[in-house]
Amino acid sequence: MPAYRPEEIEKKWQAHWKAHGTFQAQNHSDKPKYYVLDMFPYPSGAGLHVGHPLGYIASDIVTRYKRLQGFNVLHPMGFDSFGLPAEQYAIQTGQHPALTTEQNINTYIQQLSSLGFSYDWSREVRTSDPSYYKWTQWIFLKLFNSWYNLDTDRAEPLTELTARFAKSGSAGIRAAGDDEERHDFTAGQWQMMSEKQKLAAVLPYRLAYQQDTYVNWCAGLGTVLSNDEVKDGVSERGGFPVERRLMPQWSLRITAYADRLLQGLDQLEWPDAVKEMQRNWIGKSIGAEVTFPVQGSDTAQIKVYTTRVDTIYGATFLVLAPEHELVDQLTTPEQRTAVDEYIAATKRRSERDRMADAKTVSGVFTGAYALNPVNNEPVPIWLADYVLAGYGTGAVMAVPSGDQRDWLFATHFGLPIPAISDAQQGLDQQADPTKEGRYINSDLINGLTYKEATQKLIAFLEEKGLGKGKVNFRQRDAIFGRQRYWGEPIPIYYKDGTAYGIAESDLPLVLPEIDEYKPTETGEPPLGRAQDWLYKGKYPYELSTMPGWAGSSWYYLRYMDPHNDARFVGEEAEKYWGNVDLYMGGAEHATGHLLYARFWYLFLKDLGLVHCNEPFQKLINQGMILGRSNFVYRINGTNKFVTLGKKDQYETTALHADVNIVENDVLNVEAFKKWREEYANAEFILEDNGTYVCGVEVEKMSKSKYNVVSPDVLIGRYGADALRLYEMFLGPLEQYKPWNTNGISGVGSFLKKFWRLYHPEDGVLAVTDEPATPAELKVLHRAIQKAQEDIEKFSFNTSVSLFMITVNELTALKCHKRAILEPLVLLVSPFAPHLAEELWQELGHEAGSISTARYPEFREEYLVEESVTYPLAINGKVREQMQFAADATPAEIESAVLASDFLAKHGEGKAAKKVIVVKGRMVNVVV
């Protein structure tokens, strides 16, 4: 075969792999298993840009390497195909989201296949396929029909709970959730309840339940948004205003698993930063719940949770979330207008904005007072948006001397800031949260230490029925409903206003056809448009759909057994594959997908449906490939553009230019004129050499910055193997790195040089069966050792450098020997699989068999040197070199140096006091 032609080789082998099912994994094998998983993509209309494949390339390298190591590797791919973008496109065009999604998936499959990824496509899953979301709905029904028993510390079927109700009522039952939502009853009372009353009594125990919850409501999109989808008070998609609104919502009781989710992190091989994000999100704290009676009321009281009950005498005001249920009752007529205005302003801010804004101090007095339970002193009740209704009790005991945010609030509104410890300092400048010293101005605990005071106060509050010690978590239950069309229908129907789960035998509950994909005129979700959509022909279905994270919370299990119609995953398949050995994806999913998937897995384990402790054993977060943007400079008020070197002579505005019409920062002027209509008649002030040089900036790759580079273009020009190697060569996998298309040509040249080891001067295959020389074997085995170490450490950029060095050394040695070049093909095959397959076949092996070959064995004896050159020094200053046998002892080396003329030439007539031999490194003669 003549010159290396990647366009021919790559299409050939991609077709071969597809036709022969080369990468299909078996669920029964004597080989050890290894499960490599990529976070599956949402198939957007834009397709992939060169930043997207980074993690996919890395995981594919590991996959191919593990196959060569003798593992049965599962490496699947699918699509997270429900989502808001497809629905918004449907609203704009009237095209069904399923059609858009199908088109986008086909584009993604074509692009992923063109990069030579060794996916087992026979296991592909799509979350929007009814055969898949049938099981998502099935898991939801299991959650709906389960409760969390704190005594056994696991989820159990509701039938076990109701059996206890029938036997002994609600007494003694310890369940996850809010006890205040439940009411006590005897076995007799339970027996007397109607079906509707029993379901109402059970609802607060369910792991999937419905209640009024504050959510991010976006009227412009007609749906609830997650915190991640809201930025600066508007929706990230479309920029529509978002407000906090109390709405009936389905939630999942993830808080029941908070402690187990926290403890499980210690066993995971995850980046420390991700584990710390989850710890902070879960936010375990040990403290006390304290009740503040409302002055002038016989029944109203405010509960606060605090980790510093020792500071209660310094609580000079309470702060409630603007959404707190008592606000309306507490607000006095004089304060009504101010309170209403403040609440209205708060609704326009997302929770994330409220939490992040530590600089702005705002609040409003309700006009009401509470009583401090330890001394009955009146405490003013304020509202402030830094307190959130969903965190803790929605109320804060403000101690300005010990908390900086409370201090800023008190300073701003002129509230008192009394010292409570003799160790506090500088309270006129800032808060001092010290736990040192002894308490002052604190009556019951004056003179006590922190530990003594805490114990005494909790005991006092518990004795008086005004508080108790409590472990709390910052994490809240996960809102599960979305007012959208393009999502999994929630398998719930309503009879007389009470929620029932549909029968498992009636799954899947398939999305109905509707005429439009926006909310109804009466404000119902889009599913309200479905005609005659009733369970058993008479009961209305739930109109919300599941959030995007529902299908992604268990997809890794479905890959194990994707065609099983009888079970979400077969028992044997689940036991064989266990959990994911390597999970590759972005760190942005730390407190979303990764947390929800762990929650669902623990729940399924409680039901005995999975057997490992965690779903993902090892996690790697690939960094982001940043775009390299180019800029042109338009002279203000004209359609004239000045080159970078002359722009300082004019007043200009920098505009993004499409990087695909720029090469080495030089703009293709004619292509620029054709790029956009308004530039058709543009004029250009060029460099003296007649070129237009653009400005450069590294920033996020996005369509709006015109710095997106399509992998399709680069594959067409350089080949997929070159793109794979170049993306790995850019830098360490987990770091952010800038893209520069200009650099890929160097990798393309390397692959041509690699080809020529086998085809000198691009001629026929010229590999010989001559025995390898020691120098050649040394080069090979150094490469085997380093490549294996690099892959095991996920240091792929250094592997590419190693291959380049190795090829240069073998080229210099004019090596064309099978004993060297055949193992070299195997070394390179995880990185450049198409080229490797072609050479492997040319070397006489069965077509497509490189995946079943064995990784070359490293043999250390080939790296042992026969002789070593030692620098010789006098008093630390190197003077010359001498060669010694590699196995020479320090004594032998010392004798040889002293017997030589080295000391006579360089010792200035002085005698040697001491000779220091550093084995394998150097000799130093001290005179």
Interatomic CA distance for residues 405 and 355, integer angstroms: 11
What is d(CA 317, CA 312) in angstroms, rounded to the nearest whole number?
A: 11
For CA atoms 151, 154, 160, 161, the dihedral sign is positive
Distance CA 843, CA 767 (A): 8
Residues in Cβ contact with 681 at an 8 Å cutoff, skipping those fewer than 6 apart: 639, 673
Q: What are phi and psi of 590, to 5 degrees?
A: -55, -45
For residue 842, give the amino acid letter. E
CA–centroid distance for 37 within its chain: 13
3-class DSSP string for 809-845: HHHHCCCCEHHHHHHHHHHHCCCCHHHHHHHHHHCCC
The answer to the question of whether 703 is labelled as a binding residue is yes
156 half-sphere exposure, CB direction, 13 A CA radius: 18
Backbone angles phi, psi at 383, to 5 degrees: -110, 140
Tokens for 782?
Answer: 């150094």
Q: 85 — phi, psi (to 5°)?
A: -55, -45
Placement of tokens 């623990």 in the chain: 602
- Give me 829's structure tokens: 């095959």
- Reduced 3-state DSSP string for 574-589: HHHHCCECEEEECHHH
Q: What does the CA dihedral 609, 613, 617, 622 come to, rounded to 10 degrees?
A: 80
Instruction: Cite the DSSP H helix spans in 269-398.
Output: 272-282, 327-330, 336-347, 351-356
Which residues lie below 8 Å from residue 476, measured CB to CB, with a gap of 6+? 255, 390, 391
Residue found under tokens 């300073």: 411
Contact assessment for residue 186 and residue 484, using Cβ atoms and an 8 Å cutoff: no
Three-state SS string across 835-847, please? HHHHHHHHCCCCC
Dihedral of alpha carbons 477, 483, 484, 490, sign: positive
Structure tokens at 299: 């029944």
Distances (CA, A) of 753 to 275, 334, 747, 763, 812: 44, 84, 10, 13, 12
Q: What are phi and psi of 435, to 5 degrees?
A: -105, 5
Strand partners, 149: 154, 175
* Token pair 């650099």 in the structure block, residue: 743
Q: Name the DSSP letter for residue 111.
A: H
Positions at the binding site: 703
Positions at the binding site for ATP: 703
